[in-house]
Structure 1
């Protein structure tokens, strides 16, 4: 950004925006709707849906403004980009601790199973999923998607736009296939989240990861659309780099889930 006589620093002072306050009330509405829905209150599901729609609406408009500031107005200087990437890294660190809490709960119950669950893991009456069926296939899909998105990133840096589009498109297809297979796995599982500590630990860990896969897929999809629309170049693609960093984090978490929850936890 070229500095003018009124701005003697390279940082971006954001213009007043209505989206933060809208998202605050939307998230509050969604949280209240979720509590009411889980407790069976009338119109709880409708309130939850309304909150979710308003949240998505507000995020879309907010992110649109950020894209406009960076792509068309040139407000994202080197210092601004550095700050944004630090924010992404700190966000991923917070996600690491979120998954750490889930793994803590899993190992707390599995390493020393109590008499209430039969003194064994998996608990008596629970038939775990075969780790070498859908989970193994999903492992290949997710790792392959990480390789393809990296390929697309390097192609973009090299100026090969077609290869970048192909690599990112294949990544999105593999990610959608992963989510579809996990839905099929859930529908065919012989236990539910209410089936004791095993069901709670399994669905809390794999479900939290599945949610992150969906978010990461949307993240990469936005980058894909921006590449198609000539908004990202080999010098200007920090948002795409952030999505790749997030996606590799999702890949690593899945490896821990596969080994701990599916393979060792189901043995």
Structure 2
């Protein structure tokens, strides 16, 4: 993972001093190589010790090593504008098209870099082996759960979710050790989803979480942790980037499941497509 992406994705885990340092680096990545430890500490109103601790938390020996890595990344990405995602009230329609388009492309690229191949493979295997798959998510994440349910139903998987969170809690109570529970929450801190996954875990079900990158309560109680890029701001315009990242992961899981027994899956897909094809308006 790139250094700058790691700084963004781990932002919520930093102390108040570390957040000041992180914000300065994120806003001025091309300027960091010019600064000494004490200069960065002064600019961020922190201390040299805080700067060194911040670098070590990212896995570097010290600030000098962090500077070198940021300079290397900046040289590679010098022709790419980092922040296309923040919409301004004065933006034209063209600006919005370019910003949202670039933001979505970036979030997909970053999510692909973040995904752990082994964890994704285990998740696919868990879906294939489960007696029944239960999906938990509310709000936008509930819509992501519905999308996965739709995909899995089309290939004849026994899968269930519900848009009502109380109904999801009832479903969680019915899980067994033969089942799979998938919790979807961008923040990883949604109370209803956490409660559902906790109940499923207590009942012996295998648990998968889909959250943003970094430590969070939902991923911590999961057997398999799938994490997408976590650079969405807390105040969001329709949860744009997080939704795109989660949908990308859902598509990866679906294709991974479908390819394992494609001859049979193809028959299911053709059968379900045939049932709705006559509903299309013909010219």
Q: So what's the TM-score if we normalise by structure 1?
A: 0.33
Q: Which has the higher contact order (CA 8 A, sep 6+)?
A: 1
Counting helix residues as a fraction of each chain, which structure ranks higher?
Answer: 1
Q: So what's the TM-score if we normalise by structure 2?
A: 0.31
Counting strand residues as a fraction of each chain, which structure ranks higher?
Answer: 2
